[in-house]
Amino acid sequence: MIRIIKADGVSEKDFIAEVEKRSGDTDKKVTAIVSEIIENVKNGGDKAVMEYTEKFDGTVPEYYEVPRDEINNALTEADPEFTNALLNAMQNISEFHNRQIEQSFLDTRPDGCILGQRVRGLDRVGLYVPGGTAPLFSTVLMNAVPAKVAGVREIIMLTPPGKDGRPNKDILTAAAITGVDRVFMAGGAQAIAAMAYGTEQIPAVDKIVGPGNIFVATAKKLLYGKVDIDMIAGPSEILVIADDKAEPVLLAADLMSQAEHDKMASAVLITTSEKIAEETSAEIEKQMVSLERKEIIRKSIDDNGAIIVVKTIDDAIELANRLAPEHLELEVQDPLQYIGRIDNAGSVFLGKYSSEPLGDYYAGTNHVLPTSGTARFFSPLSVNSFVKRSQFIYYTEDALYKAKDDIVLMAQKEGLTAHANAILKRF
């Protein structure tokens, strides 16, 4: 049963410290295993990838690269209602992310100098999509759509094969709808290494995005620098702030919507009402028995969940900013009045009709969010995640002459006389 904590200045801080331990340093054994996989894929290419695929997925894929016809067929054969839902979600995601497009600019000064910035999409991006018990086709939408909006030239998708050696049909349908260019069947750390270094068949990419287990996350962390990544993601988390008018039935449902992701997921309710706390705890137990992933939910709720009772909403917001959650729901009267005070959260959901799954699938905001308190300094995946910027400078002779004494002085102060020399030689 989920624990109930009465905030006293110590108990709630002890819980926060406990939650933060979930995302400490990567397990050394995992790091060693992943490092070996990366090295073998770097040297062995496709052969190594296929050997690991058979070892870890227990199957040999029917084909390595999924034929274009197979991708197109997945779309034509899909349930029309499912296809329509994907198209509606993609439209919302596209509209939201089109608002994020950053423009290049040119600043022409009166003295003839020109400064500017050029913004353009990355050349090639790799998208990793997990399979397993919860094939995340929504991941395709949330990653491929902003990449396309940003102007990425080519999107490569890697996803593990199913037990039958074939790709998941729903994932292929999402790939077809969003315009993913090529799809390969490979999973785990070996897939991440293949995209980072490139193999005989899989081209090297500039950036790798998409969720995965601890081996995938560790591979991304180790390969950062060789290739860019979206973020180092930890277990999923939700924090709900509720007043005494909130509905325990809804609070319980929303908490479990994230607890079902992973046994390490964190679901926390902060409320000003002891009655709401008790009723929500009872409602969790009531609803859990009918949910398919109840074993995962039970472990997550028991180990990493809590209901914290505070005196005021101000206290709740202070705690929320300390936790910096991936998802934050404000189940309070007039939630809009508080949005300006939520400084640390990946995505904020306002009011009883803005349940977290709305953001996971449909509203248009991105569901790739900072976890483990990193919302203090990281942002959600966006169009800006898929672009690069370069600067340019044009100075006239007169402008450089006016600036040369300042530049030379600063260079000499730093002891970099060759810097100073490069300016002086022009005069």
163 and 57 part of one domain: yes
80 and 213 part of one domain: yes
86 and 146 part of one domain: yes
Q: Where are the alpha helices (DSSP H) in 353-396?
A: 356-361
**Is residue 4 domain-resident?**
no
User: Which pLDDT score, from 0 to 100, does residue 16 have?
Assistant: 86
**Catalytic residue chosen out of the listed positions 12, 327, 331, 356:** 327
241 and 194 part of one domain: no
**Is residue 5 domain-resident?**
no
At residue 24 the predicted structure's pLDDT band, cuts being 50, 70 and 90, is low
Asked whether the predicted pLDDT for residue 345 surpasses 70, the reply is: yes
User: Which pLDDT score, from 0 to 100, does residue 276 have?
Assistant: 97
**Catalytic residue chosen out of the listed positions 283, 326, 331, 356:** 326
**Is residue 384 domain-resident?**
no
Asked whether the predicted pLDDT for residue 219 surpasses 70, the reply is: yes
Asked whether the predicted pLDDT for residue 293 surpasses 70, the reply is: yes
364 and 409 part of one domain: no
CATH number, position 67:
3.40.50.1980
Hey, which residues does 185 pair with through a beta bridge?
159
84 and 117 part of one domain: yes
* β-pair type (114-121, 387-394): antiparallel
418's enclosing H/E stretch is helix 417-424
**Is residue 246 domain-resident?**
yes
218 and 103 part of one domain: yes
User: Which pLDDT score, from 0 to 100, does residue 25 have?
Assistant: 56
276 and 205 part of one domain: no
**Is residue 127 domain-resident?**
yes
Give the domain-ending residue among 229, 261, 279.
Answer: 229
The total of structural domains in the chain comes to 3
Give the domain-ending residue among 229, 251, 279.
Answer: 229
97 is catalytic: no
Residue among 380, 361, 356 at smallest CA distance from 138: 361
Q: In terms of residue numbers, what domain contains 137?
A: 28-229
**Is residue 178 domain-resident?**
yes
Q: Average pLDDT in the 244-267 region? A: 95
216 and 343 part of one domain: no
- Express as a percent the part of the chain with pLDDT over 90: 89
**Is residue 189 domain-resident?**
yes
367 is catalytic: no
User: Which pLDDT score, from 0 to 100, does residue 355 have?
Assistant: 95
At residue 19 the predicted structure's pLDDT band, cuts being 50, 70 and 90, is confident
pLDDT digits (tens, 9 = 90+) for 89-106: 999 999 999 999 999 999
Distance from CA of residue 200 to its chain's centroid? 29
Q: Average pLDDT in the 196-207 region? A: 97
pTM (2 decimals)? 0.92
Asked whether the predicted pLDDT for residue 132 surpasses 80, the reply is: no
Q: What are φ and ψ of residue 191, in 5° steps? A: -70, -40
Mean pLDDT of the chain: 94
At residue 28 the predicted structure's pLDDT band, cuts being 50, 70 and 90, is confident
At residue 23 the predicted structure's pLDDT band, cuts being 50, 70 and 90, is low
Which of residues 21 and 66 earns the better pLDDT score? 66
